[in-house]
Structure 1
Amino acid sequence: ALQRMGTFGSTLWPLSRREGGTPWTALGSLKSDKESVILMNVCEGLGKTEVGKECGATSTVCVKKSNGKSAIYGTLPANLVYDKSSRTASMTSKGGPCWNGKNLRSVITFICKPGAVSTSPQLVREVESECLLEFEWHTALACPRVSHVGQDCRVYNDALGFEIDLNPLKSSKPYALQHEGYRFFINVCGNASESPCAGDIRSANASVCQVSIADGRFWSLGQANTKLTYIDGMLNLTYTNGTPTMTLLELRGRLA
């Protein structure tokens, strides 16, 4: 199946469910069978998943009916086309035989939804006379692959028309967590005040402070930074210039 959207530059591979995974279950059912369940996969056949094996190795859209039978509305390979005007991508696929001598068919329209990484596809239209099922899938993976860099912990995406501001996450006291023998004190868009690092002139500007539970030693994993980057529905805030290690490599913290 085509998984990369040409000049659009995005990829749908992260939506693929593979060995032993659970296939996507679409929201909705057939008009004639409200108990039917629609299993879907992208770029890989349902045969790669545990639940979808009985649908066939190359099937991508499989309707499991309440009577125990299955109808295949999509198989590999599929045709993927990106529409610049609507900023959507459509995947068209043929399946098994239909009552009219043609094939069952499916069309999945992928619609950009920033930040959506686990939303399920939804059945939006069924045309029985054409043996057709149409789906919409709102996902960040359908958004244009571009990066935007902002200052003051704000970033504006002019292509999608929205602004993200992380300043409300800035806290007078750092966020604290514990993992594998260490405590971490983290702040967003500011210093980790009231952490052990704050009391040392060498690490007073730390935004991420790592503290050993065993002996109380501490390190700065990076100084405060307000340069916020938006990439493919994800936010990145990187803190650098941490405490030098014994190998003279600087420790580096990253929030994503």
Structure 2
Amino acid sequence: MSRTAVIAGQGALAETVVAALDAPLVYALEGFEPGIPAQPFRLERLVPFLDSLVEARVENVVFAGAIRRPRLDPEAFDARTAQLVPRILTAMQSGDDAALREVLDIFEEHDLSVRGVDELLPDLVPAAGILTGAPSEADRRDAEQAARILRGTGEFDIGQGVVVAQGLCLAIETLPGTAAMLEFAGRHRDLKPDPAGSKGVFYKAPKPTQDRRIDLPTIGPETVSQAVAAGLAGIAWQAGGVIVLERDKTVARASNAGLFLWARD
């Protein structure tokens, strides 16, 4: 009988995925343990870890949660994993997306099928539509401008989010993440040309060239709270490309705060 393994990262996504699957095996990269029980593994011993997955009859692997680049210990590499280092380092020089794709290739070379969260749990990824609220025409223009910005920055492997208000870019998501970007946007909300005009939109989308089996953008109740604190009108995202955690709670929090949530086609 085949099994599914979850490579769990930090944040609420891993717990949601594990709870929804049928008795998966749960692993976590050492140093990035999630808030759920998980067996640790080290990247320096990646090949023995992959062998153990095959021996446990794992066929499908799903990555869920945030993982940053670990610090590698040259002394800890086994001989077979060490042979992969040139491949991984070369890919890392091209950015996080290239490095992740290289890791996925290595998994599949060991006959492990990497599945996306959206494939296994499609209900987590809303189709096109407005979940709550009503974006104004100005909000729609801001969302379109935000989508154009992310399409333009995608090739630079920068981030998956942007804040646009009155047609102007207030903040772009970079390595510090979504919360830092929204905090920055909130601090500089007075830069909008018309204080009485549209408040602004937080827009999220996958990078145009990223492999969607890993690192799909995610929003949830805390994202809504952060957008409220930033003084924004709502959150929009690319329909079919963003995971919404705790959807009922997320929608209720946005509705109570007067924010719109829009999966934009």
Q: Give the TM-score, by structure 1 length.
A: 0.24
Which structure has greater helix proportion? 2
Which structure has greater strand proportion? 1
Higher relative contact order (CA 8 A, sep 6+): 2
Q: Give the TM-score, by structure 2 length.
A: 0.24
